[in-house]
Amino acid sequence: MITPEEYFTKRHPVAFPIWQKAVVGIAGAGGLGSNIAISLARAGIGKLIIADFDSVSLENLNRQQFTISQVDQPKVHALAANINSFNPFISLEAYCMKVTPDNLITLFGNCDILIEAFDDASQKEMLIQNWLEKYPQKPVIGASGIAGYGNSESIRIHRLDNLYIVGDTQSMLEEGISPIAPRVAIVANLQADLALELLAKQDTKG
């Protein structure tokens, strides 16, 4: 058996203890959410709360962190299994349900930071508006504009107080064409990195 001491080596002396205490919510476990969750779990976030109502399909495998053998499984359960295969020490709460204004507090109220990782724009808007209304002091990190390939220098972080939007805020999905793996992963990892940055800053502020 591996011990936590053996597993968590070569970590940042100041930031890592902060991340270990942190609780991060991820709304959506698709292209964005699966990449965000895996990066945050590798980085050493202590607890992740992930919600998504969907199951893995074959067409998700072009960009989402699942395997062929996980097709038809609920995404949150497949993702939890994948995370536990490389980090057995993380605390995971996985909810296979649709996020609504009514269950937002129950699901994510204990989180230090919420990351919006939905596909649909109206869901993104619902989550961001409701979160900022209920928790004006807690950061929410959304994504907008991830489609296509190339021109990735147009992807940036828009910082609006406690609301952060990552993406090019321009690129639309073309009918029948999925987002493509690298650009989704770039945005997802910018979201994940920003969460790490905000947590470290929050804590050092006291």
Residues that bind other proteins (CB under 8 A): 28, 30-33, 117-122, 124-125, 128-129, 132-133, 142-147, 158, 160-161, 163, 165, 167, 169-173, 179, 184
Compare residues 153 and 161 and give the one whose CB is closer to other proteins.
161
Q: Could you tell me the smallest distance in angstroms from the CB atom of residue 205 to other proteins?
A: 20
Q: Could you tell me the smallest distance in angstroms from the CB atom of residue 162 to other proteins?
A: 9
Q: What is the CA radius of gyration of the chain?
A: 16
- Cα gap 188→145, rounded to integer Å: 12
Compare residues 20 and 123 and give the one whose CB is closer to other proteins.
123
Compare residues 1 and 160 and give the one whose CB is closer to other proteins.
160
CA-CA-CA-CA dihedral for 145, 129, 46, 188, to nearest 10: 0
Q: Could you tell me the smallest distance in angstroms from the CB atom of residue 157 to other proteins?
A: 11
Tell me the two tokens of residue 57. 């399909």
CA distances from 149 to 36, 49, 107, 183 (A): 19, 30, 34, 6
Q: Could you tell me the smallest distance in angstroms from the CB atom of residue 159 to other proteins?
A: 10
Burial class (CB in 10 A: 0-12, 13-18, 19+), 61: middle
Straight-line distance from the first to the last Cα atom of the chain, in angstroms, rounded to the nearest whole number: 36
Compare residues 82 and 144 and give the one whose CB is closer to other proteins.
144
Question: How many C-alpha atoms does 143 have within 13 Å on its Cβ side?
Answer: 34
Compare residues 16 and 135 and give the one whose CB is closer to other proteins.
135
Compare residues 15 and 36 and give the one whose CB is closer to other proteins.
36
Q: Could you tell me the smallest distance in angstroms from the CB atom of residue 148 to other proteins?
A: 9
- Cβ atoms of 77 and 56 within 8 Å: the answer is no
Q: Could you tell me the smallest distance in angstroms from the CB atom of residue 49 to other proteins?
A: 18
